């Protein structure tokens, strides 16, 4: 009895019976139709859910026969695992969508029945096994859509609907003609029989008929460029209806393609090309959109293109095992994220992207918004992330590199416009009219986000990466978010405790290099993070994100596979992005940070895909043992890490993000988060050793590092903003580390690790010291500060310690680092690099002196006259770090022994430096003369500069150290054009210009749309014809 109640056929009985009853009930009593509608819709969802659950637990697929006969005599339906998944997802989305549309549906019983039968029709398209019946269900879906589109009576909406009807009628006519012709050729309409007899589908009629059917399905999925009609409807329809068209109707059509795919074995490349072009170009044009729903339309179309592409390529590779993760993941991800965004757009009711600043002050709305965007962009932890990873891995295994590039480029474009939209929502504008919406309006979008979160874990399970430890940063983040109502300092303490406890558990089993990094970064991270206690405000969302950030660093160190590593990497990126975006003036800088981070991540993804294919395993361990030729994998991975480290050319995101983030966050970013990229470099650089090309690349990386150092230092020299100065200094210092890693020797790596530890502490101190100065003086400009040595003595002392250590003056740790680096370079014979290193050290000395002078020694300016010492909460972490510097300087063995052990597995055989302690090194390479010469060199340089400065007659201002610097900054102006910034700007402009050019195909002319659709069919026919004759 219960079984009969949940028979899949009941979906249709409920849909049709309910639909037919609604007018009757309306005559009886007005509220009855709504009741029947809700019952029927819930019933449909329940039936699909119950059966899907049973199928998941191993029940065989359910066959439904009609008319008491067996196919092909009668029509049959199938409810297998795929059908169950698709129908269940669509039905749940339909329920949420009905909630969103309820104010419109409630008033019109016709709308209720149209909606109900539409949902049933999508279920029918998924379940039917008869080609002509598929046509009937397609028409049911189409006509219901037309009717629902009629709910919106504006002229633009009517016009868009008419164009939509014209195009879809043409498309479905081809399905009709194709089915009848296929029947003529094969004598059956049953899909299973058609597949069994597919060799009969030949000759002019058979092949044309097949293309007609394919053309209908592809056209219904809105391929570029034959999709203007779809976009117009997305733009003008009510958000709830647009959501339904975007996810529901497309789901039905896509499933039809999925089930007919065996018929299209010879057309897989064609489908992939259609999908790929759609994915790329829709996302390109999306860049230029200002209308929210139209932009979502482009994204919808692009996602369907990606699914087409994935389906065709996986089928072609025979990778059926990956389909549930890739297709299922992409589908569920698109379904709930896109529908959620449409629903959110419906709730917020701002048609233009620029109007979204109105939600700036609403944390919960922003949270939902952010989650949906993260999902759409294919970022963790959502199903799209796992699906994309698996897809790229499969494509890499099949050596389809062009497709990988296309997917990653398209994804980047999509992220660009989607997060560009988010950018608007993070800053309130003066003219904003307040929005009024209730929790009720938000429910569907929030529901979509929750379902995505549930889907994440299942997707991770499919990907074989679901484990408590990997998800622990997110779990802690959620718990802390639930406590976000507590006072700021309480939250900060809770966060520190959670990170300490969970972080320790996470890194307890890490060893070697990861263990070293884990200890240093987690320890340093906790110290720097504790500085947040100086702020009293609540900082909504900040502490949960900080926990996610720090714990993700820990999981990254623990990662055993490239997937786990990449997952943690993306979480680090995302949590830092959302924290940076909270900075008061970070508005223009957060997006470049994210986009460069994503570019970096996509390089990593591609690099891992290549490396895993070359290593034959996804285990990170293989990077150490694999002697394969993996130069291209190394190049991509190194590029990814270099972008993230802010290497020269890619550094343009760095100063803005570091400078405009909250002051304590800047310290975290510069000291701790930047080291994550360095860890990545350590991990992959060993790949380069496998081949000569790889070693050349490593040499190149050495030069990139050194250039970064020199130019970073030169840029730091020119800054008037103390935080920007430190940001460029950070860039410069990371350059040393990159060069040291590129040395590929035991000595080089020891140096690199030594510099990592040194830089972490130094930058932590300096940024926190500056945070205190900004807190007390309220300005970041060098010329407005001064004389703080007396007013903030503790800050002064720790900053000087840090500066000395950073500049490489003896006796502090930086000296050892610099010295080791020079020796390692000379040892390797890289004299050019060594010379450049000395130059960079000199410039470094100059800007560091300027910093110390301007803040502490110069005569006090107005802002700095009546100030107190920085608060204890800020000073304490700095003092701890100073202690660490002193330990590192005077007891280097404590650090050097584990470092040496960690490096031994890599360079044991090519050992240049036989595990000597630092003291021995000092003794062995007598450093004092060289260092003395360096300092003397800097002194001479300074003297020459000073003389030139004094002798220049054209100089007008008074003398003084500050004036001296300003003088040189001014004369360096003409030849310091921001080349990198300009280059990236022109790339961005290229994107928008080509987007502008591309979107001209959408003229708005309905007949043109039909014409393009017809030519699309002709294109498919001719491509097939040519392929048939060529092959």
Partner 1 sequence: MGLPVSTLLMTTGFLLVLIGMWGILRHRNILRIIIGFGLFDTGLHIVMVATGYITGGTAPIIDTALGIEQATTRAVDPVPSALVVTAIVIGFSVTAIMLAFAIRIHDARKTLSIDALTESKW
Partner 2 sequence: MKAASSLLAVLLFGAVFAGIVGGYGERESVSALAEQYLAMVPRELGAPNVVTGILITYRGFDTLGEVAVLFMVAAGVGVLLGGKDTTTASEPGREPRRPSELVGNGAEITLPLIFLFGAYVIKNGHLSAGGGFQGGAVVASGTMLLMLALPATKLNHGFLGVTESLAGVVYVGIGILGLVFAAGFLDSHILPLGEFGTLISAGAIPVISALLGVKVGAELSVIIDRFRN
Distance CA 504, CA 831 (A): 43
β partners of residue 291: 352
Helix crossing, 872-890 with 892-907: angle to 10°? 70
DSSP state of 79: E
Residue 235 binds which entry of partner 1, partner 2, none, CB below 5-8 Å type-dependent = partner 1
Residue 108 binds which entry of partner 1, partner 2, none, CB below 5-8 Å type-dependent = partner 2
Specify the long-range contacts of residues 982-987, CB closer than 8 Å, at least 24 apart.
983/649, 984/652
Residue 983 binds which entry of partner 2, partner 1, none, CB below 5-8 Å type-dependent = none
Please check whether residue 122 is in contact with residue 141, taking contact to mean a CB–CB distance below 8 angstroms: yes
Build a one-symbol-per-residue string for 329-358: x at contacts with partner 2 by CB under 8 A, - elsewhere. Answer: ------------------------------
If one asks whether residue 208 binds partner 2 (CB under 8 A), the answer comes out as yes
Nearer to partner 2, 46 or 110 (CB): 110
CB of 357 to partner 1, least distance (A): 24
Nearer to partner 1, 208 or 779 (CB): 208
If one asks whether residue 117 binds partner 2 (CB under 8 A), the answer comes out as yes
Residue 323 binds which entry of partner 1, partner 2, none, CB below 5-8 Å type-dependent = none
CB of 98 to partner 1, least distance (A): 22
β partners of residue 190: 130
Please check whether residue 615 is in contact with residue 630, taking contact to mean a CB–CB distance below 8 angstroms: yes
State the Rg of the chain over Cα: 32
CB of 1028 to partner 1, least distance (A): 22
CB of 181 to partner 2, least distance (A): 7
CB of 601 to partner 2, least distance (A): 43
Which residues neighbour 2 within 8 Å (Cβ) at sequence distance 6 or greater?
Answer: none
Q: Which of 3, 29, 57, 68 binds partner 2 (CB under 8 A)?
A: 68
Residue in the block written with tokens 């500069």: 945
Nearer to partner 1, 141 or 647 (CB): 141
Nearer to partner 1, 291 or 582 (CB): 291
Which is nearest to 247 in space by CA: 296, 196, 317, 290?
A: 296
CB of 719 to partner 1, least distance (A): 42
Residue 355 binds which entry of partner 2, partner 1, none, CB below 5-8 Å type-dependent = none
| Token reading at 314 | 């996986």
Nearer to partner 2, 144 or 799 (CB): 144
CB of 568 to partner 1, least distance (A): 40
Q: What are phi and psi of 334, to 5 degrees?
A: -65, -45
Segment lying near partner 2 (by CB under 8 A), choices 108-116, 658-666, 759-767, 870-878: 108-116
DSSP state of 23: H
Q: Which of 151, 494, 513, 713 binds partner 2 (CB under 8 A)?
A: 151
Q: Which of 49, 80, 147, 787 binds partner 2 (CB under 8 A)?
A: 147
DSSP structure string for 617-637? S-BTTHHHH--S--HHHHHHH
Residue 114 binds which entry of partner 2, partner 1, none, CB below 5-8 Å type-dependent = partner 2
Nearer to partner 2, 36 or 633 (CB): 36
Nearer to partner 2, 200 or 409 (CB): 200
Three-state secondary-structure class, residue 82? helix
If one asks whether residue 425 binds partner 2 (CB under 8 A), the answer comes out as no
Segment lying near partner 2 (by CB under 8 A), choices 132-140, 342-350, 387-395, 844-852: 132-140
Nearer to partner 2, 132 or 968 (CB): 132
If one asks whether residue 1018 binds partner 2 (CB under 8 A), the answer comes out as yes
Which residues neighbour 728 within 8 Å (Cβ) at sequence distance 6 or greater?
Answer: 654, 655, 712, 713, 715, 716, 719
Which residues neighbour 827 within 8 Å (Cβ) at sequence distance 6 or greater?
Answer: 745, 747, 912
Distance CA 1007, CA 1003 (A): 10
Three-state secondary-structure class, residue 585? coil
CB of 995 to partner 1, least distance (A): 10
If one asks whether residue 861 binds partner 2 (CB under 8 A), the answer comes out as no
Distance CA 129, CA 79 (A): 10
Please check whether residue 488 is in contact with residue 535, taking contact to mean a CB–CB distance below 8 angstroms: yes
Contacts with partner 1, residue ranges (CB under 8 A)? 132, 136, 139, 143, 146-147, 150, 153-156, 158-163, 165-166, 169-170, 173, 176-177, 179-181, 183-184, 189, 228, 231-232, 235-236, 288, 294, 999-1000, 1002-1007, 1010-1011, 1014
CB of 216 to partner 2, least distance (A): 15
Nearer to partner 1, 38 or 1014 (CB): 1014
Which residues neighbour 154 within 8 Å (Cβ) at sequence distance 6 or greater?
Answer: 236
Q: Is 397 exposed, middle or buried (0-12, 13-18, 19+ CB in 10 A)?
A: middle
Nearest-5° angle of CA 399, CA 400, CA 406? 145
Q: What are phi and psi of 96, to 5 degrees?
A: -60, -40
Please check whether residue 24 is in contact with residue 36, taking contact to mean a CB–CB distance below 8 angstroms: no
Residue 129 binds which entry of partner 2, partner 1, none, CB below 5-8 Å type-dependent = none
Residue 236 binds which entry of partner 1, partner 2, none, CB below 5-8 Å type-dependent = partner 1
Helix crossing, 383-397 with 587-615: angle to 10°? 40
Nearer to partner 2, 43 or 525 (CB): 43
If one asks whether residue 11 binds partner 2 (CB under 8 A), the answer comes out as no
Residue 305 binds which entry of partner 2, partner 1, none, CB below 5-8 Å type-dependent = none
Distance CA 863, CA 582 (A): 26
The footprint of partner 2 on residues 15-54 (CB under 8 A) is 16-17, 19-24, 27
Residue 180 binds which entry of partner 2, partner 1, none, CB below 5-8 Å type-dependent = partner 1
Residue 999 binds which entry of partner 1, partner 2, none, CB below 5-8 Å type-dependent = partner 1
If one asks whether residue 1004 binds partner 2 (CB under 8 A), the answer comes out as no
Nearer to partner 1, 132 or 1025 (CB): 132
CB of 172 to partner 2, least distance (A): 12
H helix or E strand, kind and range, residue 76: strand 76-79
Q: Which of 146, 849, 942, 967 binds partner 2 (CB under 8 A)?
A: 146
Segment lying near partner 2 (by CB under 8 A), choices 280-288, 780-788, 895-903, 1005-1013: 1005-1013
CB of 146 to partner 1, least distance (A): 5
DSSP structure string for 966-1017? HHHHHHHSTT---HHHHHHHHHHHHHHHHHHHHGGG--S-HHHHHHHHHHHH
Segment lying near partner 2 (by CB under 8 A), choices 45-53, 105-113, 363-371, 858-866: 105-113
CB of 252 to partner 1, least distance (A): 16
H helix or E strand, kind and range, residue 339: helix 329-348
Please check whether residue 157 is in contact with residue 149, taking contact to mean a CB–CB distance below 8 angstroms: yes
Ranges of H-type helices in 150-267: 155-186, 191-196, 203-220, 228-236, 239-243, 250-260
If one asks whether residue 154 binds partner 2 (CB under 8 A), the answer comes out as no
Which is nearest to 735 in space by CA: 647, 666, 672?
A: 647
Distance CA 943, CA 323 (A): 69
Please check whether residue 915 is in contact with residue 896, taking contact to mean a CB–CB distance below 8 angstroms: no
HSE-CB for 160 with a 13 A CA cutoff:
25
By CB under 8 A, name the binding residues for partner 2.
9, 12-13, 16-17, 19-24, 27, 64-69, 72-75, 108, 110-111, 113-114, 117, 121, 124, 130, 132-133, 136-137, 139-140, 143-144, 146-147, 150-151, 181, 183, 187-188, 203-205, 208, 1007-1008, 1011, 1014-1015, 1018, 1021
């Amino acid at each position: 009895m219960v079984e009969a109640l949940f028979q899949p056929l009941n979906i249709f009985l409920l849909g049709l019976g309910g639909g037919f009853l609604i007018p009757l009930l309306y005559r009886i009593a007005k509220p009855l139709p709504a009741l029947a509608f809700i019952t029927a819709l819930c019933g449909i969802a329940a039936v699909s859910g119950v059966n899907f659950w049973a199928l998941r637990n191993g029940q065989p697929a359910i066959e439904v026969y009609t008319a008491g006969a067996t196919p092909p005599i009668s029509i049959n339906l199938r409810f297998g695992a795929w059908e169950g998944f698709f129908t269940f997802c669509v039905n749940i989305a339909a329920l949420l969508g009905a909630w969103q549309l309820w104010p419109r549906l409630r008033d019109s019983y016709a709308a209720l029945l149209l909606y109900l039968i539409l949902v049933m029709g999508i279920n029918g398209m998924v379940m039917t096994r008869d080609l002509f019946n598929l046509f009937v269900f397609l028409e049911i879906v189409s006509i219901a859509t037309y009717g629902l589109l009629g709910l919106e009576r504006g002229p633009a909406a009517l016009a868009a609907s008419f164009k939509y009807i014209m195009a879809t009628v043409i498309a479905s006519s081809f399905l009709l003609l194709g089915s009848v012709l296929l029947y003529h050729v094969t004598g059956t309409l049953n899909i299973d029989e058609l597949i069994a007899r597919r060799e009969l589908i030949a000759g002019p009629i058979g092949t044309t008929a097949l293309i007609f059917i394919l053309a209908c399905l592809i056209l219904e999925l809105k391929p570029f460029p034959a999709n203007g009609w779809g976009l117009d409807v997305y733009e003008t329809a009510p958000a709830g209806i647009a959501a339904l068209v975007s996810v529901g109707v497309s789901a039905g059509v896509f499933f039809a393609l999925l089930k007919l795919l065996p018929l299209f074995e010879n057309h897989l490349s064609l489908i992939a090309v259609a999908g790929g072009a759609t994915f790329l170009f829709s996302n390109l044009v999306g860049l230029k959109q200002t209308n929210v729903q139209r932009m979502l339309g482009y994204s919808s179309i692009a996602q369907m293109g990606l699914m087409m592409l994935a389906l065709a390529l996986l089928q072609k590779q025979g990778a059926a095992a990956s389909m549930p993760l890739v297709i299922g993941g992409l589908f569920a991800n698109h379904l709930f994220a896109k529908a959620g965004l449409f629903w959110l757009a419906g709730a917020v009711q701002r048609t233009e992207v620029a109007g979204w600043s109105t939600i700036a002050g609403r944390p919960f709305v922003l949270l939902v918004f952010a989650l949906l965007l993260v999902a759409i962009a294919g970022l963790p932890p959502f199903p799209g992330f796992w699906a994309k990873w698996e897809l790229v891995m499969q494509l890499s295994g099949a050596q389809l590199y062009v497709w990988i590039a296309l997917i990653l480029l398209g994804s980047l474009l999509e992220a660009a416009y989607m997060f560009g939209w988010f950018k608007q929502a993070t800053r309130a504008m003066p003219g904003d009219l307040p929005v009024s919406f209730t929790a009720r309006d938000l429910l569907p979008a929030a529901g979509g986000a929750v379902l995505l979160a549930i889907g994440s874990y299942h997707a991770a399970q499919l990907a074989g990466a679901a484990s408590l430890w990997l998800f622990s940063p997110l779990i802690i983040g959620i718990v802390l978010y639930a406590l976000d109502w507590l006072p700021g300092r309480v939250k900060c303490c809770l966060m520190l405790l959670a990170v300490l406890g969970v972080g320790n558990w996470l890194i307890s089993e890490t060893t070697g290099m990861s263990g070293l990094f884990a200890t240093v970064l987690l320890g340093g991270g906790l110290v720097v993070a504790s500085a947040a206690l100086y702020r009293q405000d609540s900082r909504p969302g900040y502490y949960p994100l900080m926990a996610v950030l720090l714990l993700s660093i820990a999981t990254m160190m623990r990662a055993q596979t490239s997937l786990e590593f990449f997952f943690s990497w993306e979480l680090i990126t995302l949590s830092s992005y959302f924290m940076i975006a909270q900075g008061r003036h970070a508005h223009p800088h957060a997006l470049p940070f994210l986009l460069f981070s994503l570019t970096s991540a996509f390089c990593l993804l591609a690099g891992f895909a290549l490396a895993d294919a070359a290593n034959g395993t996804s285990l990170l361990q293989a990077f150490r043992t694999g002697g394969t030729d993996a130069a291209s994998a190394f190049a991509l991975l190194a590029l990814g890490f270099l972008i993230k480290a802010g290497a020269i050319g890619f550094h343009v995101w760095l100063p803005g993000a570091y400078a405009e983030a909250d002051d304590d966050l800047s310290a975290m970013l510069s000291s701790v988060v930047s080291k994550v990229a360095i860890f990545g470099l350590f991990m992959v650089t060993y790949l380069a050793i496998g081949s000569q090309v790889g070693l050349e690349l490593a040499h190149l990386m050495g030069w990139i590092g050194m250039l970064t150092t020199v130019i970073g230092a030169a840029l730091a020299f020119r800054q008037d903003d103390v935080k920007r100065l430190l940001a460029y200094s950070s860039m410069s210092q990371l350059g040393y580390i990159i060069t040291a890693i590129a040395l590929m020797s035991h000595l080089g790596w020891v140096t690199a690790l030594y510099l990592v530890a040194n830089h972490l502490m130094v930058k932590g101190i300096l940024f926190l010291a500056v945070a205190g100065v900004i807190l007390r003086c309220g300005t970041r400009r060098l010329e407005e500060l001064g004389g703080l040595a007396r007013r903030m003595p503790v800050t002064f002392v720790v900053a000087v310690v840090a500066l000395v250590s950073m500049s490489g003056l003896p006796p502090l740790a930086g000296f050892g680092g610099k010295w080791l680096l020079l020796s390692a370079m000379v040892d390797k014979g890289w004299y050019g690099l060594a010379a450049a290193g000395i130059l960079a050290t000199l410039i470094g000395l100059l800007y560091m002196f300027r910093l110390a002078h301007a803040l502490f020694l110069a005569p006090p300016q107005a802002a700095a006259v009546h100030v107190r010492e920085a608060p204890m909460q800020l000073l304490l972490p700095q003092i701890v770090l100073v202690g660490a510097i002193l330990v590192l300087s005077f007891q280097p063995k404590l650090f050097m022994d584990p470092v040496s052990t960690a490096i031994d597995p890599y360079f044991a055989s090519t050992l240049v430096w036989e595990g000597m302690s630092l003291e021995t090194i000092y003794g062995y390479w007598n450093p004092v003369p060289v260092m003395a010469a360096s300092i003397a060199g800097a002194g001479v340089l300074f003297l020459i500069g000073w003389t030139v400065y004094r002798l220049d007659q054209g100089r007008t201002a008074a003398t003084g150290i500050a004036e001296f610097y300003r003088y040189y900054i001014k004369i360096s102006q003409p030849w310091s054009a921001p080349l990198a910034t300009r280059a990236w700007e022109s790339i961005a402009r290229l994107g928008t210009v080509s987007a502008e050019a591309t979107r001209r195909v959408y003229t708005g002319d309905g007949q043109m749309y039909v014409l393009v659709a017809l030519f699309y069919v002709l294109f498919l026919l001719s491509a097939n014809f040519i392929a048939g004759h060529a092959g």
